[in-house]
Chains A and B, each alone.
Chain A
Amino acid sequence: MSVPPESTASVLPQAAPPEAVAFPPKELKKECEDILSRYPTRMAACLPVLLLAQQHYGGWISPEVEAGVASYLEVSDSHIRGLLTFYAMYNTKPAGRHEVWVCRTLTCWLRGAEKLRQTALDTAGVATCGTESDDGKFLIKNMECLGLCEVAPAVFIDGQPHVNVTPEKLTELMEACD
């Protein structure tokens, strides 16, 4: 039996590793230190520091910010990537100026969430959830239960809850965004 040689030269993605931003920037220094003081280890502070970083850097965590936070908290980039992809509240792609979360879990779904999502997408002018609209204004996200089932369907816009939402009300709310 002969063994054919195999070339592996072309299978690898070739890209330079991201250059870490210097983290924390001046403006966040104090807040980061406050957060760290509340936890027993630096690793334990990952989630709140990432949220802070996301707010500061335009609503998303780029690979460069990821690397900066990782080295600040003395954990691996891989650990941060795991967290960013596990939790739906973090964005790893550019986010619009306004984030619209539409709940898709059972109660909201039974109460018409499907229509709300379509309305949100149409109003923003994007085809799918998770992608920033061309004008950079909106990011629509499908979310699991937002904890407001008794007043379903629920929507969050920029962190503010809205309940018993109808398509008309959602359009109004989104049109009020600048």
Chain B
Amino acid sequence: MSNGKITIDGQVLDIVPGKTVIQIANDAGIGVQHYCYHPGLSIAGNCRICQVEVEGWDRPQISCKLQPSDGMVVHTQSEFAKDAREGTMEMLLVNHPLDCPICDQAGECHLQDYSYEVGQGAASSPTAKTNLPKNVPFGSKIVYDAERCIKCTLCVRFCEEVTETNELAMAGRSDHEIVIMTSQGEFETPYSMNIIDLCPVGALTSRDFRFKSRLWFMDFAESVCTGCARGCNVMTGGRDGSFLRMEPRENQAVNKWWMCDAGRLGYKAANVASRLEAPLVRNADGALVQVNWERAISAAGAALKGAPGDVLIDGGATLEEMALANDLAAAMGGKAKYAAATGEGDDFLVVAEKGANAAGAELLGLPRAKKASAASVVIVERGQHITASMRDKSGAVVVFAMDGEHVPDSAQVVFPLPSSAERNGLLVNCDGIVQAISSNTAIGPNNLADPIELIEDILGELDDGYDWRGRDGVLASIRALPAFAKVDFPAGYEAAGVGAGS
């Protein structure tokens, strides 16, 4: 049965029960400005920027709360609607400090964006702007500026409705209304930093990211957090080799709009001073010295011919890397195994399994290394899965590592490993969902070789008849495995033999 039709900007659209006008418009690709509306939170209807004209009604209506009815005709771009929004902008800016030049939100601020869209809205108030608290710590990770705040209550609703920890409240009213933290010290919720992303303006900033970089100098890439097996979808942001921030990306099947604070701040591993930037080979004096890639590859081949054995791979490595680790082990007559840490989980996103691709390793049939054992090759990413004792006791001669601190003394050849923000590939999360990480070229040392190519090259050293397959070929062989027969691959990876990325 039809629920009736609504016309928005000339498009005739179906009414969907439970959806308000802004949602129906958004679904049809008609963007309506909004501050206080968020699909994951209750509707507050306090900012008034989403006002539209409804034919036959003599007042503008807030589309975020407006229930559609059959035959309703809505205009989002009429003079009447624009006037209403312009008036709202004027009110919102009356007490706003307009300190965009020193505000971290600049460039991704809805207040800025909508100012451009609706026009200037020159202030007609002759009174001075109010002064409100600035630089207020909300826990150790977030800084609040009450003058920039537009009192949309998104942050308060998040702590009330999503985490149910109620650390924040709206205090006071009218031009002296501010957000306050009612508990002392830290947030109780480990998800507090999501309010920074929620805040449509620069009122909540990340102490970690504050004043680090202008957004327009950064590059962004869609990827996945490897902090635990949930695999929250993220956007990585980097500049000149540094990984500067990670923010959640919406995926209703995995993390909705959120991510945990620990995962968000986990990016720092890519910025350590001891990051490896070039291949190293141990010389006659026992020192690791920098060599070119060819020398390192042939040295690795020679070292492995002399000491064949198992391959120990990080639980955060990609499917492609794990599959090749399997081939490499087979070429040496050994087996590949993976290591992954376990820890605390909660009833929201964080899961106890920390290996971001532990499920992928299981699908590939790799056994899980529970304790230290011998291996000729160790591929270690952040060091939490393949622990110091596992690395040291492996006796590995060929080591792939991000961090020089993670290289065991036994290493003869060391390859620098790009971080998960610098590689392409697939991970299988705790629910069996296959997701892609993708490389952000603004992060990490320049010109690091893709471990996939390196492992294939080493395979070529070990086996004269080795047939290079490239990422697509490796993916095709993964797909051909019975365990992957029913597995869905993400966009860009659906067709057999086609791999996105390099």
How many angstroms from the CA of A76 to the CA of B160 in the assembled complex?
9
Nearest A residue (CB) for B170: A82
Within 8 A of A (CB), among B175-227: 180, 182-186, 207-208, 212-213
Q: Is B139 an interface residue (CB 8 A)?
A: yes
Residues in chain B near residue A2, CB distance under 8 A: 242
Q: Is B271 an interface residue (CB 8 A)?
A: yes
Q: Is A3 a contact partner of B137 (Cβ separation < 8 A)?
A: no
How many angstroms from the CA of A78 to the CA of B141 in the assembled complex?
20
Residues in chain A near residue B240, CB distance under 8 A: 1
Q: Which of B141, B156, B184 contacts A14 (CB 8 A)?
A: B184
Q: Is A1 a contact partner of B242 (Cβ separation < 8 A)?
A: yes
Within 8 A of B (CB), among A1-44: 1-3, 6, 8-9, 11-17
Within 8 A of A (CB), among B143-194: 156, 159-160, 166-173, 180, 182-186
Main secondary structure of the interface of B (DSSP, over half): loop
Q: Is B208 a contact partner of A12 (Cβ separation < 8 A)?
A: no
Q: Residue-by-residue, is B111-147 near A (CB-CB < 8 Å gives 1, otherwise 0)?
A: 0000000000000000000000000010111000000
Q: Is A86 a contact partner of B182 (Cβ separation < 8 A)?
A: no
How many angstroms from the CA of A14 to the CA of B186 in the assembled complex?
9
CB distance from A88 to the nearest CB of B (A): 9
Q: Is B169 a contact partner of A81 (Cβ separation < 8 A)?
A: yes
Q: Is A78 a contact partner of B168 (Cβ separation < 8 A)?
A: yes
Residues in chain B near residue A3, CB distance under 8 A: 212, 242, 244, 271
Q: Which of A9, A13, A82, A85 contacts B184 (CB 8 A)?
A: A13
CB distance from B327 to the nearest CB of A (A): 38
How many angstroms from the CA of A85 to the CA of B151 in the assembled complex?
15
Q: Which of A12, A15, A79, A81 contacts B180 (CB 8 A)?
A: A81
Residues in chain B near residue A13, CB distance under 8 A: 137, 184-185
Q: Is A76 a contact partner of B141 (Cβ separation < 8 A)?
A: no
Residues in chain B near residue A82, CB distance under 8 A: 169-171
Q: Residue-by-residue, is A141-171 near B (CB-CB < 8 Å gives 1, otherwise 0)?
A: 0000000000000000000000000000000
Q: Is A77 an interface residue (CB 8 A)?
A: yes
Q: Residue-by-residue, is A38-59 near B (CB-CB < 8 Å gives 1, otherwise 0)?
A: 0000000000000000000000
Give the interface centre of B139, B156, B169, B173 by most chain A CB atoms within 10 Å: B169
Q: Which of B140, B166, B207, B241 contacts A1 (CB 8 A)?
A: B241
Residues in chain A near residue B406, CB distance under 8 A: none
Q: Is B239 an interface residue (CB 8 A)?
A: yes
CB distance from B215 to the nearest CB of A (A): 15
Residues in chain B near residue A85, CB distance under 8 A: 169, 171-173, 180
Q: Is A17 a contact partner of B208 (Cβ separation < 8 A)?
A: no
Q: Is B171 a contact partner of A81 (Cβ separation < 8 A)?
A: yes
CB distance from A81 to the nearest CB of B (A): 5
Residues in chain A near residue B182, CB distance under 8 A: 76-78, 81
Q: Residue-by-residue, is A92-119 near B (CB-CB < 8 Å gives 1, otherwise 0)?
A: 0000000000000000000000000000
By size class, the interface of chain A is 20 to 34
Nearest B residue (CB) for A8: B140
Give the interface centre of B172, B180, B182 by most chain A CB atoms within 10 Å: B182
Residues in chain A near residue B180, CB distance under 8 A: 81, 85
Nearest A residue (CB) for B140: A8
Nearest B residue (CB) for A84: B171
- Assess A8 versus B141: contact at CB under 8 Å? Given A1-B241, A77-B182: yes
Q: Residue-by-residue, is A67-93 near B (CB-CB < 8 Å gives 1, otherwise 0)?
A: 000000000111101100110000000
Residues in chain B near residue A86, CB distance under 8 A: 170-173
Q: Is A79 a contact partner of B185 (Cβ separation < 8 A)?
A: no
Give the interface centre of B172, B186, B213 by most chain A CB atoms within 10 Å: B172
Residues in chain B near residue A8, CB distance under 8 A: 140-141, 207
How many angstroms from the CA of A171 to the CA of B180 in the assembled complex?
38
CB distance from A61 to the nearest CB of B (A): 13
Nearest A residue (CB) for B167: A78
Residues in chain A near residue B244, CB distance under 8 A: 3
- Assess A78 versus B169: contact at CB under 8 Å? Given A1-B239, A1-B240, A16-B184: yes
Give the interface centre of B184, B207, B239 by most chain A CB atoms within 10 Å: B184
How many angstroms from the CA of A108 to the CA of B57 in the assembled complex?
38
How many angstroms from the CA of A82 to the CA of B239 in the assembled complex?
41
How many angstroms from the CA of A81 to the CA of B240 in the assembled complex?
45
How many angstroms from the CA of A82 to the CA of B151 in the assembled complex?
13
CB distance from B139 to the nearest CB of A (A): 7
Residues in chain B near residue A81, CB distance under 8 A: 169, 171, 180, 182
CB distance from B118 to the nearest CB of A (A): 30
CB distance from A153 to the nearest CB of B (A): 22
Residues in chain B near residue A16, CB distance under 8 A: 184
Q: Which of B166, B169, B171, B184 contacts A15 (CB 8 A)?
A: B184
Q: Is B186 a contact partner of A12 (Cβ separation < 8 A)?
A: yes
Residues in chain A near residue B186, CB distance under 8 A: 12
Give the interface centre of B170, B186, B241, B271 by most chain A CB atoms within 10 Å: B170
- Assess A6 versus B208: contact at CB under 8 Å? Given A78-B166, A82-B171: yes
Residues in chain B near residue A15, CB distance under 8 A: 184-185
Nearest A residue (CB) for B143: A11
Give the interface centre of A2, A12, A82, A86 by most chain B CB atoms within 10 Å: A82
CB distance from B146 to the nearest CB of A (A): 13
| 18 pairs, A vs B, C-beta closer than 8 Å | A1-B239, A1-B240, A8-B140, A8-B207, A11-B137, A13-B184, A15-B185, A78-B156, A78-B159, A78-B160, A78-B166, A78-B167, A78-B169, A79-B169, A82-B169, A85-B171, A85-B180, A86-B170
Which 9 A/B pairs are nearest by Cβ-Cβ distance? A76-B166, A78-B169, A85-B171, A1-B240, A8-B140, A82-B169, A78-B166, A78-B182, A15-B184
Other 19 A-B pairs with CB < 8 A, given A2-B242, A3-B242: A3-B271, A8-B141, A9-B140, A11-B137, A11-B140, A12-B137, A12-B186, A13-B184, A14-B184, A15-B185, A17-B184, A76-B160, A78-B168, A79-B166, A81-B182, A82-B170, A85-B171, A85-B172, A86-B173
